[in-house]
A and B are shown apart, each in its own frame.
Chain A
């Protein structure tokens, strides 16, 4: 157990991870047969349709980072963003409803998994385009600075994103204007179905941040307590007005690129090794060793499953959006002129 964490705070991190895992496991099961890819044909029975990108095994990163964020802080996310969104405080039930495409979802069924947003907790959107959240994050942070807000922006992206131009443009921008941004590279080692390592020159996200004079910290992204402590230090510096920081969290994508991808292209030994470092199992062991009793952990786990079961039932029972909703919130000027 890390010294900086007391029992209830440590348990809260565990709870965040367990809720993410339970949510994604349920969504994964509900998505089978929901998309035509990787040899599967979409059928009519799947409740969660279309590509579903799971962050299974990566839960320690959002849990450890978002523990230090407030609702007034902004967050931008990725296509693999369920964990970020839940950890930022978005309602699990409305997230599940959005995955089901129902009217009660955060986006009224207009977005689905890849576009979940909850502005009420500062979550400015998942994103279907790799690296697209970075410039939006620096813009939001720029606004926070201009408006004199005591708030910051956390920007999550993957290892694949550092090979896109907006990564360079956004880090440069954040440094030039000394913006209150924490960049979080959630390095799960895979870019869709290609290993990121052979596709990435140099030493990766931290080194690139260093080249732009942005202090970066590399951390074991499967150790939620290590992530928590590293993020705590970096976020304190960001909040103090010292400019942007980058957290490079080394983790592993346990599932395929999307939920129906068996990831047959990768070495089974690599996955087996990664499973030995599962962040939830590790945290559980350390909590037990730190004196939190098994009953307390079981209560957290049971509560998460109960919450997810209720979310599934509510999403299933919820109404579809009205067809007319396809024509709302497109734009104000010219509304009604569709052809």
Chain B
């Protein structure tokens, strides 16, 4: 067991997989210098320029070349820098990576991991702050992962690289420096949620950085006698229905919280599924449907705060 950051956990995960499997390569902008968030630090000196491949600013070609490499037998980790820039490689992800295996009748696999850090990054405004995980959860053919802790970023990134499906891997840009324990022998399967707190008053489901904000709200609620079952979904597709439905069946109440815009967010999918399956009461909490603003007062309008979460939980529990 070591104590390290979310970014370093990712470095270790990539190194583990590259060491174990010569088919794994990394391609993206600035990866040779460690990546702009340090999430590839030290890997090029260790694995060489043929396997940690610096690329031009060509997101379509990075993603598309990743598809071609995967079809040709490699396991590429494709770095998009931020999810907002990944939009320049959407045809390659949506029409090619996600479709090829099915469309070709089972000929070919596209085992690539597309890393596209998301979420609000202080004062980065509308084109560097989005949470677009619901777009990809809507897309047949891909796995969607949103890790929230250093341990999960280590274990889930390893699982993503080992996976034979294309994986959209959305780290949170405000979590890179977050420290926590990492057990490098611990495997966490994709598709499995984590229950972070136990309680009977209501079920709270979240993912990525928003889990930390939920945990803060749960502390406040606990002091008021409202005990929350807090679930970190971790993988958005395939998501851990069993864990969520089991909890909702016990508590009868579900609050889904995410940093992404609430309208048509993945929280709606979780809430509707839970209501259909268990008859539980549901509530959702996400950002208003506005672009993220630059000035602090504007940016704050897009943040889902611990106070707002606690208030929504009180309404639901009451």
Which A residues lie at the B interface, using CB under 8 A?
74, 76, 105-111, 115, 117-119, 124-125, 127-129, 132, 134-144, 146-147, 165-166, 169-170, 172-173, 176, 328-334, 337
* B105 in contact with A142 (CB, 8 Å): no
Residue in contact with A107 in the complex, picked from B55, B107, B140, CB distance below 8 Å: B107
* B67: interface (CB < 8 Å): yes
* A135 in contact with B65 (CB, 8 Å): yes
* A329 in contact with B60 (CB, 8 Å): no
Name the B residues within 8 Å of A332 (CB-CB).
163-165
* A119 in contact with B107 (CB, 8 Å): yes
Shortest beta-carbon distance from A72 to chain B in Å: 11
* A139 in contact with B56 (CB, 8 Å): no
* A329 in contact with B106 (CB, 8 Å): yes
* B64 in contact with A333 (CB, 8 Å): no
* B92 in contact with A111 (CB, 8 Å): no
CA of A111 to CA of B105 in the docked complex: distance in angstroms? 7
* B104 in contact with A119 (CB, 8 Å): yes
* B105 in contact with A169 (CB, 8 Å): no
CB 8 Å contact bits of B221-254 with A (1 = contact, 0 = none): 0000000000000000110010000000000000
Residue in contact with B101 in the complex, picked from A76, A106, A169, A331, CB distance below 8 Å: A331
Shortest beta-carbon distance from B36 to chain A in Å: 20
* B101 in contact with A124 (CB, 8 Å): no
CB nearest neighbor in A for B76: A139
* A333 in contact with B71 (CB, 8 Å): no
* A115 in contact with B238 (CB, 8 Å): no
Name the B residues within 8 Å of A169 (CB-CB).
56, 58, 60-61, 64
CB 8 Å contact bits of B76-119 with A (1 = contact, 0 = none): 10000000000000011001100011111111100000000000
Most B-side CB within 10 Å, residue of A124, A170, A331: A331
* A143 in contact with B64 (CB, 8 Å): no
Shortest beta-carbon distance from B250 to chain A in Å: 22
* B170: interface (CB < 8 Å): no
Given contacts A143-B69, A173-B61, A173-B65, whether A119 and B105 have CB atoms under 8 Å apart is: no
Residue in contact with B104 in the complex, picked from A76, A125, A142, A328, CB distance below 8 Å: A125
Residue in contact with B73 in the complex, picked from A127, A138, A147, A337, CB distance below 8 Å: A147
CA of A173 to CA of B142 in the docked complex: distance in angstroms? 26
Name the B residues within 8 Å of A328 (CB-CB).
106
CA of A331 to CA of B165 in the docked complex: distance in angstroms? 6
Shortest beta-carbon distance from B133 to chain A in Å: 15
* A333 in contact with B143 (CB, 8 Å): yes
Name the B residues within 8 Å of A115 (CB-CB).
103-104
* B105 in contact with A329 (CB, 8 Å): yes
CB nearest neighbor in B for A151: B72
Chain B: residues with Cβ within 8 Å of the partner, total of 47
Name the A residues within 8 Å of B237 (CB-CB).
334
Name the A residues within 8 Å of B102 (CB-CB).
110, 329-330
Residue in contact with B69 in the complex, picked from A106, A110, A142, A331, CB distance below 8 Å: A142
Shortest beta-carbon distance from B60 to chain A in Å: 5
Given contacts A107-B105, A115-B104, A129-B91, whether A331 and B142 have CB atoms under 8 Å apart is: yes
Name the A residues within 8 Å of B56 (CB-CB).
169, 172-173, 176
* B271: interface (CB < 8 Å): no
Residue in contact with B65 in the complex, picked from A108, A127, A142, A147, CB distance below 8 Å: A142
Please, could you name 9 A-B residue pairs with CB atoms under 8 Å apart, sorted by A?
A: A105-B105, A107-B103, A135-B63, A135-B64, A139-B67, A147-B72, A172-B61, A333-B163, A334-B143
Residue in contact with B105 in the complex, picked from A110, A132, A143, A337, CB distance below 8 Å: A110
CA of A330 to CA of B143 in the docked complex: distance in angstroms? 11
* B157: interface (CB < 8 Å): no
* B190: interface (CB < 8 Å): yes
* B58 in contact with A173 (CB, 8 Å): yes
Shortest beta-carbon distance from B168 to chain A in Å: 12
* A139 in contact with B103 (CB, 8 Å): no
* B141: interface (CB < 8 Å): yes
* B191: interface (CB < 8 Å): yes
B21-51 with Cβ < 8 A to chain A: 25, 50-51
CB nearest neighbor in A for B160: A333
Given contacts A111-B104, A147-B73, A333-B163, whether A132 and B140 have CB atoms under 8 Å apart is: no
* A110 in contact with B103 (CB, 8 Å): yes
* B74: interface (CB < 8 Å): yes
* B67 in contact with A334 (CB, 8 Å): no
Given contacts A138-B61, A144-B72, whether A132 and B103 have CB atoms under 8 Å apart is: no
Given contacts A119-B107, A169-B60, A173-B55, whether A330 and B68 have CB atoms under 8 Å apart is: no
CB nearest neighbor in A for B104: A117
CB nearest neighbor in A for B190: A333
Given contacts A132-B96, A330-B141, A332-B164, whether A140 and B106 have CB atoms under 8 Å apart is: no
CA of A127 to CA of B104 in the docked complex: distance in angstroms? 11
15 more A-B residue pairs beyond the given contacts A166-B60, A328-B106, A332-B165, with a C-beta to C-beta distance below 8 A: A107-B103, A124-B68, A132-B64, A132-B91, A135-B60, A138-B64, A139-B76, A140-B68, A142-B69, A143-B73, A173-B55, A176-B56, A330-B102, A333-B143, A334-B237
CA of A335 to CA of B105 in the docked complex: distance in angstroms? 16
Shortest beta-carbon distance from A134 to chain B in Å: 7
CB nearest neighbor in A for B56: A172
CA of A170 to CA of B68 in the docked complex: distance in angstroms? 12
Name the A residues within 8 Å of B50 (CB-CB).
146
CA of A42 to CA of B237 in the docked complex: distance in angstroms? 37
CA of A169 to CA of B57 in the docked complex: distance in angstroms? 9
Given contacts A331-B140, A333-B190, whether A107 and B61 have CB atoms under 8 Å apart is: no
